[in-house]
């Protein structure tokens, strides 16, 4: 299994694939693993967390779902929202089992109707990503940094299956011509976990013409849109 991106989603996928018995290779184009996940504020929304229970707050997956749908203008994928809300406590338990330590605080973020946001002890995404990464490595997954994916390889025209990628090993951001191109085959599948694109002004302008270059982003510099464009090219969005 080939995983593109080493943030929360990519490392979680790599862990699941290894636990299922697959060999796993994770590709990260930047020098450091983690992407936006490693620099975020280390907070997640959890229904029925110990922090809520300590304050006597009654919450439910249905209420969280209602909040997310309303905040998303009801354009959300309802099935995914339902799954996310019903499994929020399971994610908390899984991360805690990996060694993530949570602070006692509880907050009500924008769009939420009651407090359900919990934080890691130092309010850093690295507190989550670090334990996840250690588990991933302990399971024997291989991770390669500075490995920039240029192209996803598919079969003949009309065949939807993806067979691998062309990646530049030894890539140095942001030089797209750096590194040596190499073909990497994936026998059991490719997981796209490349995350944000807010550092790519031209790509974000496609979605909102107000997001011009004079507006800064909290995304890390490598959160650019190359693989979003590549996914569009092969019809995988």
pLDDT (tens digit, 9 = 90+) per residue, 23-45?
999 999 999 999 999 999 999 99
- For residue range 160-214, list pLDDT tens digits in order: 789 999 999 999 999 999 999 999 999 999 999 998 899 999 999 998 999 999 9
* Residue 157 pLDDT grade (very low, low, confident, very high; cuts 50, 70, 90): low
- Please check the confidence at residue 10 and state whether its pLDDT lies above 90: yes
pLDDT digits (tens, 9 = 90+) for 91-108: 999 999 999 999 999 999
Pairwise CA distance, residues 121 & 174, whole Å: 33
Q: Average pLDDT for residues 40-56, to the nearest whole number? A: 97
pTM: 0.94
- Is the preceding omega at residue 6 within 30 degrees of 0, hence cis? no
Mean residue pLDDT across the chain: 95
What φ, ψ does residue 229 adopt, rounded to 5°? -65, -40
Judge whether residue 127 has pLDDT over 90. yes
The 10 Å CB-count burial string (b at 16+, else e) for 121-133 is eeebbbbbbbbbb
Q: Is the C-alpha dihedral spanning 19, 25, 29, 32 positive or negative?
A: positive
Q: 42 with 120: CB under 8 angstroms?
A: yes
Name the band, by pLDDT with cuts 50, 70 and 90, for residue 65. very high
3-state class (DSSP) for residue 94: helix
Q: What tokens appear for 9 in the block?
A: 């989603």
What angle separates helix 88-98 from helix 78-86, to the nearest 10 degrees? 50
């Amino acid at each position: 299994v080939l995983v593109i991106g080493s943030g929360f989603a990519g490392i979680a996928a790599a862990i699941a694939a290894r636990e299922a018995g697959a060999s796993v290779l994770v590709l990260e184009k930047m020098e450091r693993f983690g992407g936006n996940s490693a620099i975020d504020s280390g907070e997640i929304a959890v229904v029925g967390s110990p922090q809520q229970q300590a304050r006597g707050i009654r919450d439910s997956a249905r209420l969280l779902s209602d909040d997310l749908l309303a905040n998303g203008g009801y354009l959300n994928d309802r099935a995914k929202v339902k799954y996310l809300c019903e499994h929020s406590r399971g994610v908390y338990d899984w991360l805690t089992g990996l060694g993530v330590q949570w602070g006692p605080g509880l907050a009500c973020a924008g769009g939420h109707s009651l407090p359900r946001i919990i934080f890691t002890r130092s309010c850093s995404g690295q507190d989550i990503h670090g334990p996840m990464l250690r588990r991933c490595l302990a399971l024997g997954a291989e991770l390669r940094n500075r490995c920039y994916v240029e192209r996803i390889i598919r079969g003949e025209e009309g065949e939807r299956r993806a067979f691998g990628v062309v990646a530049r090993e030894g890539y140095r951001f942001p030089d797209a011509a750096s590194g040596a191109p190499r073909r990497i085959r994936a026998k059991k599948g490719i997981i796209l976990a490349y995350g944000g694109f807010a550092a790519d002004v031209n790509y974000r302008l496609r979605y909102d013409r107000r997001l011009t270059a004079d507006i800064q982003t909290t995304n890390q510099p490598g959160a650019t849109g190359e693989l979003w464009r590549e996914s569009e090219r092969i019809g995988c969005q």
